[in-house]
Homo-oligomer: A and B are copies of this chain.
Amino acid sequence: MVDPETIQKAQRAHEEGSVEFEPEKPDIYGDAHPKELLRLIPEHHDVLKSLANKHIVSAFQFDKEMLEQLFRLAAKYESNPNRYSNPLKGKILISAFYEPSTRTRLSFESAWHRLGGDIMSITDRASTGIAKGESLRDIGEMFNNYGDCVVLRDNSEDAVIEMMQTLRIPIINAGNGTDEHPTQALADLYTILKWRPAMMEENSEPIKIGIIGNPARMRTVRSLLTLLSNYSDAISEIIIIHDDKDEQLFYENQEQEIKNLGLKIRTETNLDKVLPELDVVYINAIAWVKDDYEVMGENLKLSINSPLKPSSIILHPLARGDELCSSLDNTPHNWYFSQARGAVFLRMALLTCLTQRTERVIDVL
């Protein structure tokens, strides 16, 4: 019934000092990486201003110039998190997670709070007017009156499109079914460019990226492929590594569409065979199948025993399951924690643009 060891453990913990923690963690958490981006990218404020009065629905909305200006602002926040405290003072975020997701919700809410704004959260669908049959257009109309920005997660592809029809404040698609999750892809690419800023320059040595997953069913993969197409010259190849039981790997014309975007893409089922070639390994826990999800195949897992190229980095949108072993956490391959950390700063940058408060944080006025 009761575990007598627990209290003794706590007592010992105190005696041995193990309730103490180290507030700082070196290396991959260092701020050298964002500072390099800050140094390399010249500030063009007009580009950020063009996000005014726009919704964020799809990764297709971002071109190279916009991406780099956003990353510059994210890097500025990440390099000096305590400097810009209140650009969103007096602004209210409506954080609407009709499909529950603590991680993404907290990432957005932390970003908003760090900018000094206030938040109203909806954490489940059951308590909303939707359950009584209210239309998403009416909910959009309601949100106009209550806040300054909406973040929406929904398990339907169309919810964000519907709500946009009546919104006169910006909405961010934080995951719509199997379709897109553009801010996750922005955070992914921000991490890759922090790791290798040379990709932004012409004639950089091209890298090879492996993506473990199914582009037909994974919204994070879909949005990421779209964003990577802005750097097709810097990417020699993208290899989709998938379960050989997968019957449908791309939706209808998706493979051709990706190639049209300039990306060289091929598919593979043997992970360990291609791992030694890869510079970036992107792995995801789950593939969405309708309202449910399936776990990755048994042979698509990474651990410290995987034949990784020594200089390679691993990305994962998290939360993870068995597919990414914690034995990799304390290795230089671990850029997935940095990726999660950077996502907050990336979202801060985007939210500052959408609320038209960039003037309070840019260098040159």
Residue in A58, A92, A121, A286 with the greatest tally of chain B CB atoms within 10 Å: A58
Please indicate the chain B residues that have their CB under 8 angstroms from the CB of A10 in the complex: 57-58, 60, 161, 179-180
A133 interface residue per 8 A CB criterion:
yes
Q: How many residues of A contact B (CB 8 A)?
A: 100
Q: Which of A109-117, A205-213, A234-242, A274-282 contacts B (4 or more CB under 8 A)?
A: A109-117
Which residues between 9 and 43 of chain A lie within 8 Å of chain B, taking CB atoms?
Answer: 9-11, 13-14, 19-25
Please indicate the chain B residues that have their CB under 8 angstroms from the CB of A134 in the complex: 318-321
A129 interface residue per 8 A CB criterion:
yes
Which residues between 106 and 155 of chain A lie within 8 Å of chain B, taking CB atoms?
Answer: 106-107, 109-110, 113-114, 116, 118-124, 126-129, 132-135, 137-138, 141-142, 144-147
A106 touches B170 (CB 8 A): no
Which residues between 309 and 365 of chain A lie within 8 Å of chain B, taking CB atoms?
Answer: 318-321, 326, 337, 340-341, 343-344
Tell me how many chains of this kind the complex includes.
3
Which residues between 283 and 311 of chain A lie within 8 Å of chain B, taking CB atoms?
Answer: 285-286, 289-290
B120 touches A123 (CB 8 A): no
Contact A179 B122, CB 8 Å, known A90-B85, A132-B319, A164-B21 = no
Q: How far is the CB of A139 from chain B (nearest CB, A)?
A: 8
A142 touches B103 (CB 8 A): yes
Inter-chain CA distance A319–B127, complex, in Å, is 13
Contact A126 B141, CB 8 Å, known A7-B58, A7-B222, A168-B22 = no
Q: How far is the CB of A304 from chain B (nearest CB, A)?
A: 16
A268 interface residue per 8 A CB criterion:
no
A6 interface residue per 8 A CB criterion:
yes
Q: What are the 3 A-B residue pairs with the smallest beta carbon separation, nearest first?
A: A100-B127, A10-B58, A134-B319
